[in-house]
Amino acid sequence: METETAQSNHKSQIRHSNSHLQTLAQMGSTGFSLNWICPSLVLYSPLQPINNPKKSQSISKLFSPKSGAFSTRMAAVPPAAISTNFWFKSLKETFTVDVHRAENRPLNVPLIAPFTIASSKLEKVENVAIRIELSNGCVGWGEAPILPSVTAEDQPTAMARATEACTFLRRSPAMTLSSILGEIGEILPGHQFASARAGVEMALIDAVANSIGVPLWRLFGGASNTITTDITIPIVSPAEAAELASKYRKEGFKTLKLKVGKNLKTDIEVLRAIRMTHPDCLFILDANEGYSAREAVEVLEKLHEMGVTPVLFEQPVHRDDWEGLGYVRRIARDSYGVSVAADESCRSLADVTKIVKGNLADVINIKLAKVGVVGAHDIIEMARTAGLDLMIGGMVETRLAMGFAGHLAAGFGCFKHIDLDTPLLLSGDPVLEGYEVSGATYKFTNARGHGGFLHWDNIA
């Protein structure tokens, strides 16, 4: 154990080390070479004790006096040859991070209109913003999204727990990214604190990505820097739904995600109204646990009579109704060719295991606020191994959290369904820069990290 003085000296050595840039050469067998571009960055070999910063790997001076700019070099390796998660896994074990500042503040943003689903109604966004600054000067941003009845935390709880995590980060000695993420997982365990954990993980990983000069989508595999999202129509009247469908059709959205599950008869009327306005759209139905198994099958029967086949039926029954979920999945697949997604029913690796063993769903919906960033990586691996399709979604979030999820989806390139639309439902956008939006398409053009940030002094 290091004493408080030794920890202070250790942090000082890292914070004030020379301006040379660290190089991680020959990562694994793929031949990658990254030039880590923030000064004072310390990289340790996993085989070396991190309490001896003098035993760091060799340094390479990568600043170009002529251009006055830092550079990032990558060996020319075909994307197919790269393990999707290789960079991130390697980075967790080799990058040692020292946190200089860490703090959180409420992030409150009005909605254009109330957002109503089967299980709750939201009048405004009440999330938590997190800012982490490393001793090398690089900053990372995160957001803990809150949605009553879906996330276990409300805003006061998320604020309190994020404050606890930030206090730990400010006081902790330098350690590998893997170790610090593990510590955060212990401070904010399980689904009960998943949203706060996700926000802190986002900020840490963003700060590290900024440090090495790599955009998040490339860090997560580099499959693409573009995604195409659906857009959500909440529970509204048939006339309002038709108006929204017409608007979204003009904006180029091909897939509409329709919130259902409160009233079966009204749901069918809304579907008919949308079909009249946007006849060529693709449908995702999201019941948010609102139906019984019998009602969910009845909805599919009615749609079949209308000549409508949803591309996906998301969380048709209560999260704990495993038998009902499996029943709806069998009928949907065998009788109507419709895939069923588990959302609220999937909040951990144990849930995924249960779904796989019981053949209870065709698709797993991953949301960072349900499982965190590290948990999402684990679930992605398990679901892909089991042959399940993947969907990525979110709560009602700003472009901070949604941008992080978008980078992850683009980088992995393995998500069949992308539902990252809720920033479009906000009446204002507090996030500066970040991804480019063109209708349903998001493009990540930033040079490093997330690319988006907040004016911290303007956050309440």
pLDDT beyond 80 at 146? yes
More confident: 265 or 15: 265
3-class state of residue 29 by DSSP: coil
Residue 456: phi and psi, rounded to 5, are -60, -35
- Residue 197, amino acid: R
- Residue-wise pLDDT for 351-385, tens only, equals 999 999 999 999 999 999 999 999 999 999 999 99
Would you list the DSSP string of 172-214?
A: SPPEEHHHHHHHHHHHS-TGGGHHHHHHHHHHHHHHHHHHHT-
Can you give the pLDDT at residue 149?
76
Do residues 39 and 59 make contact, with C-beta atoms less than 8 angstroms apart?
no
pLDDT beyond 90 at 233? yes
Q: Residue 357: is it exposed, middle or buried by C-beta count within 10 angstroms (0-12/13-18/19+)?
A: exposed
What's the DSSP call for residue 151? B
Q: What is the pLDDT averaged over residues 287-312?
A: 96
- Residue-wise pLDDT for 76-129, tens only, equals 333 433 445 667 888 899 999 999 999 999 999 999 999 989 888 888 999 999
Q: Report the greatest alpha carbon distance in the chain.
A: 74
Task: Compute the mean pLDDT over every residue in the chain, rounded to the nearest whole number.
Answer: 84
Helix-, strand-, coil-residue percentages of the chain, each rounded to 5: 40, 25, 35
Given pLDDT bands bounded at 50, 70 and 90, which one contains residue 54? very low
- The answer to the question of whether 286 is labelled as a binding residue is yes
Sign of the alpha-carbon torsion through 445, 426, 415, 28: positive
**Which CATH code, of 3.90.45.10, 3.30.310.50, 3.30.420.40, 3.20.20.120, is assigned to 219-458?**
3.20.20.120
At which residue do the structure tokens 């309002």 appear?
240
55 belongs to the catalytic site? no
pLDDT beyond 80 at 39? no
Catalytic residue chosen out of the listed positions 265, 367, 370, 443: 367
- Residue-wise pLDDT for 311-358, tens only, equals 999 999 999 999 999 999 999 999 999 999 999 999 999 999 999 999
Can you give the pLDDT at residue 34?
38
Contacts of 187 (CB under 8 A, 6+ apart): 161, 164, 165, 168
Do residues 22 and 44 make contact, with C-beta atoms less than 8 angstroms apart?
no
pLDDT beyond 80 at 131? yes
Structure tokens at 33: 């070479």
Angle between helix 177-187 and helix 86-94 axes, rounded to 10 deg: 90
Residue 29: phi and psi, rounded to 5, are -100, 0
- The answer to the question of whether 343 is labelled as a binding residue is yes
Structure tokens at 156: 């006061």
More confident: 167 or 23: 167
Residue 246: phi and psi, rounded to 5, are -65, -45
- Give the separation between CA 361 and CA 345, rounded to whole angstroms: 10
pTM of the full predicted structure? Answer: 0.84
- Give the separation between CA 202 and CA 402, rounded to whole angstroms: 11
- C-alpha distances in angstroms, 6 versus 9, 10, 11, 58, 180? 5, 6, 9, 24, 19
Can you give the pLDDT at residue 256?
97
250 belongs to the catalytic site? no
Catalytic residue chosen out of the listed positions 11, 257, 259, 370: 259
Do residues 361 and 388 make contact, with C-beta atoms less than 8 angstroms apart?
yes
Q: What is the pLDDT averaged over residues 230-235?
A: 96
Buried b (16+ CB within 10 A) or exposed e, 39-74: bbbbbbeeeeebeebeebeeeeebeeeeeeebebee
- Give the separation between CA 213 and CA 138, rounded to whole angstroms: 10
**Which CATH code, of 3.40.50.10490, 3.30.390.10, 1.20.120.140, 3.40.640.10, is assigned to 99-214?**
3.30.390.10
Residue 268: phi and psi, rounded to 5, are -65, -40
Contacts of 145 (CB under 8 A, 6+ apart): 127, 151, 195, 198, 199, 368, 369, 394, 395, 396, 397, 401
Contacts of 336 (CB under 8 A, 6+ apart): 300, 303, 304, 309
Q: What is the pLDDT averaged over residues 62-69?
A: 28
Quickly count helices (H) and strands (E) in the chain.
Answer: 13, 22
Q: What is the pLDDT averaged over residues 181-204?
A: 97
Annotated domain spans of the chain: 4-97, 99-214, 219-458
Can you give the pLDDT at residue 85?
61
What's the DSSP call for residue 381? H
Angle between helix 155-171 and helix 194-212 axes, rounded to 10 deg: 40
pLDDT beyond 80 at 301? yes
Given pLDDT bands bounded at 50, 70 and 90, which one contains residue 188? very high
- C-alpha distances in angstroms, 437 versus 227, 284, 459? 10, 22, 23
Structure tokens at 358: 């019981």
Can you give the pLDDT at residue 390?
98
Do residues 317 and 296 make contact, with C-beta atoms less than 8 angstroms apart?
yes
- Give the separation between CA 376 and CA 381, rounded to whole angstroms: 9
- C-alpha closest to that of 119 among 328, 315, 364: 315
pLDDT beyond 90 at 237? yes
Bridge partners, 142 (sequence order): 130
Structure tokens at 15: 């914070």
Structure tokens at 398: 């700003």
More confident: 225 or 22: 225
3-class state of residue 230 by DSSP: coil
- Percentage above 90 pLDDT, the chain: 75
- C-alpha distances in angstroms, 11 versus 20, 65, 130? 17, 29, 22
3-class state of residue 329 by DSSP: helix
Can you give the pLDDT at residue 210?
97
pLDDT beyond 60 at 52? no
